[in-house]
Structure 1
Amino acid sequence: MSRPTGRVLKLLELLQSGGTRTVAELADRLGVEGRTVRRYVDQLIDLDVPVESVRGRYGGYRLASGYRLPPLMLSDEEALAVLLGLLAGRRAGLTTTEHTANETASAKIRRVLPQHIARRLDTLLEALAFTDQPGGFEPPDTGVLLTVADAVQHRRPVSIRYTDRSGRRSERTLHAYGIVTHAGRWYVTGKDAGIGEDRTFRLDRIADARTLSGSFEAPTGPGPAQRVLSGFATAEYRHEVSLRIHGTVEQIRAHLPASVAALEEHEPAAGEDRTAERWLRVGLRVERLDWLPPVLASLDRPFVIERPDELRDLVAALADRLASCARRT
């Protein structure tokens, strides 16, 4: 492809991104002079691309409203990046469609790849290994995801039909603050208008979403991701654990992240080192306790178990097993 033709296609790509582009901006992005930009625009018009000239101080060029874009064109490197992105998204559970749609999209791109690029891709895939298993979670419905995203963007209430983990169905009105992906799942966090409290919902459990009239103000404070993590740490589970650990916030968070534990920090006194080790209270709500003793041992920091007693017994049992192993010859 000749350089002038490549620049004409680049100009079309810039105009497709929307809005009005000044001649100076286009010239800078294309690396040419202003009169060359005008010549490229004329070439697009000759190809029946409806480029409009906008007069005035902030004038320039734009595509006519309603123009149907031509088929997508990708360079070899862009096509390779898209294929790797589809593969990584499927492995991480971040796709919003069934695997068959993901695979057909990959197949369509692979069919048009030059042989030397396809061979490079196959070589990479053969050499590539993953430490985790492919995401096995149900993807959210694409229509639901887009409706909720629009409600977040425009601060509009949204009605959702939701099924909770016990199978109970309900219809709720949600003031959605944001969409968050975590550990292969998609979540939406916001205020449940019916009860006036913040809630986090799994998007794959939402069967239907409809935007409602009206608007709401977004709250100040933690962002959507932090709200989701905090919700995990304070959710209702079988066991409620309370600990005091002597260490820094960083030392504790390295083993008990915000998605697992709530950390009660104390404001240091005047002149006290904020990074110094001190006793901090850690709270967890968990279904099982058996994984906690090894984590506490790996902390290598002094700790006190406030509750439950069952956790004390498990820690003592682990200590006895370790001591027994250390005495063996």
Structure 2
Amino acid sequence: MSETMEGGPTARTLRLLDLLQSRPVWSGTELAERLGVTTRSVRRDIDRLRELGYPVRATHGSGGGYQLGAGRRLPPLLLDDDEAVAVAVCLRLAAGGTIEGLGEAAVRTLAKLDQVLPARLRSQVEAIHEATVTLDASAPSVDARTLLLLARACRETERVTFRYAGPRGEGERRIEPYRLVATGRRWYLLAWDLDREDWRIFRLDRMTEPATNGWRFRPREAPDAADFVRRAITVGAYDHVARVRIAAPKSVVEQRLPSSVGTVTADGRSHCILEAGGQHLGAMAMHLGALPWEMEVQDPPELREIMREQAARMLRATREG
């Protein structure tokens, strides 16, 4: 009989590991009764776990038994379906280079995880991998079923319907999904809006009742998802848009400012242009004033005047007496 068959040594070893993780100490007799085997078989399975890297300690006397302790190296992990998908999503974010020093390790881990995933989960993980791009490091929590449904629809080019609570009220939307984009604050979906006949972005936390109906679509020529969402959330959604020339290279400014704050473009080797949106010019002036570089406000003129007023007020606040 194959060891991978139910009831074989491999399946029994996994069951033994599950028991050892469920409480601090088990006697050999208790384990044998739970597994339906002899205590000799339990000892062999304990040895097998140790060979795999699990530090199983054995103590004698009253109150003794087998105990699973902390080891020096990470043993194989047992994940259920939801845990495997969750790990894949987290690794995908790290593999995108958003967490310094983890990108290469995350890619290697993803490759190993993909090799051992069953077919029913591999398609789900691949859907999330293919449909997600990342702007910032820490995306907030999102309903896993919604995320998976949209990711699969992006990959399978399948139309999606959902109810959406936007700034102008709630209503049903019919879209052709293209890409999921994770930012430091929330998740977005870039999609073709069938009713408005244009590209739109949708916040996942504003969606309810997402569903696919089996209708496939032919992919359109789409804009760059990350750039489209970045501009929409930093410029397009605000009453005011500031354009500032900063006396620092683009790479230096991008290290200080998250992608969700604004769009940075190079202006020669030593300067760059920052475009950022805001609802209040006063708040924008304070945020810009806190940046550590020399700058020139190109637009709007009202922002320059407010910054002058704030600078004068700050100078007056520094007077002694």
TM-score, normalisation: structure 1 = 0.50
* Structure 2 counterpart of 1:215: 217
Equivalent pair of 1:290/1:314 in contact (CA under 8 Å): yes
Supply the distance in 1 between the matched residues of 2:312 and 2:275 (Cα, whole angstroms): 25
* Structure 1 counterpart of 2:203: 202
Supply the distance in 2 between the matched residues of 1:228 and 1:11 (Cα, whole angstroms): 48
* Structure 2 counterpart of 1:284: 276
Output one character per residue of 1:219-253: Cα deviation in whole Å (capped at 9) or x when no partner.
Answer: 5663x444322321232322222222232112333
* Structure 2 counterpart of 1:244: 245
Equivalent pair of 2:230/2:260 in contact (CA under 8 Å): yes
**Superposition pairs of residues 4-19 of structure 1, within 5 angstroms:** 8-9=10-11
Q: Does 1:179 align with 2:172?
A: no
Query: How far 1:316 moved relative to its partner?
Result: 1.5
Equivalent pair of 1:235/1:285 in contact (CA under 8 Å): yes
2:216 maps to a residue whose letter is: G
Cα 1:299/1:180, change in 2 over 3 Å: same
Which of 306, 309, 314 is 2:301 aligned to?
309
2:306 maps to a residue whose letter is: L
Query: How far 1:256 moved relative to its partner?
Result: 4.1
Equivalent pair of 2:230/2:262 in contact (CA under 8 Å): no
CA RMSD of aligned residues (A): 4.1
Equivalent pair of 2:249/2:266 in contact (CA under 8 Å): no
1:231 maps to a residue whose letter is: A
1:277 maps to a residue whose letter is: S
Q: Does 1:318 align with 2:319?
A: no
Equivalent pair of 1:230/1:258 in contact (CA under 8 Å): no
Output one character per residue of 1:81-124: Cα deviation in whole Å (capped at 9) or x when no partner.
Answer: x8xx99xx9xxxxxxxxxxxxxxxxxxxxxxxxxxxxxxxxxxx
Query: How far 1:277 moved relative to its partner?
Result: 0.5
Supply the distance in 1 between the matched residues of 2:145 and 2:281 (Cα, whole angstroms): 39
Which of 285, 288, 303 is 1:293 aligned to?
285
* Structure 1 counterpart of 2:164: 162
Structure 2: runs of 5 or more not aligned: 1-6, 16-67, 91-137
SS of match in other structure, 2:218: coil
Cα 1:216/1:293, change in 2 over 3 Å: same
Supply the distance in 1 between the matched residues of 2:191 and 2:304 (Cα, whole angstroms): 37
SS of match in other structure, 1:157: strand
**Superposition pairs of residues 33-52 of structure 1, within 5 angstroms:** none
Supply the distance in 2 between the matched residues of 1:254 and 1:187 (Cα, whole angstroms): 23
Structure 1: runs of 5 or more not aligned: 14-73, 90-134, 269-275
Cα 1:145/1:300, change in 2 over 3 Å: closer
Q: Does 1:253 align with 2:240?
A: no
1:303 maps to a residue whose letter is: M
Equivalent pair of 1:189/1:199 in contact (CA under 8 Å): yes
Output one character per residue of 1:48-86: Cα deviation in whole Å (capped at 9) or x when no partner.
Answer: xxxxxxxxxxxxxxxxxxxxxxxxxx998869xx8xx99
* Structure 1 counterpart of 2:43: none
Query: How far 1:152 moved relative to its partner?
Result: 1.4
Equivalent pair of 2:297/2:303 in contact (CA under 8 Å): yes
Number of paired residues?
A: 203
Cα 1:304/1:171, change in 2 over 3 Å: same
Supply the distance in 2 between the matched residues of 1:10 and 1:235 (Cα, whole angstroms): 58
Output one character per residue of 1:167-204: Cα deviation in whole Å (capped at 9) or x when no partner.
Answer: x2333222212223333433222222333322111112
Cα 1:75/1:192, change in 2 over 3 Å: farther
Supply the distance in 1 between the matched residues of 2:150 and 2:257 (Cα, whole angstroms): 31
Equivalent pair of 2:180/2:190 in contact (CA under 8 Å): yes
SS of match in other structure, 2:253: helix
Cα 1:6/1:285, change in 2 over 3 Å: farther
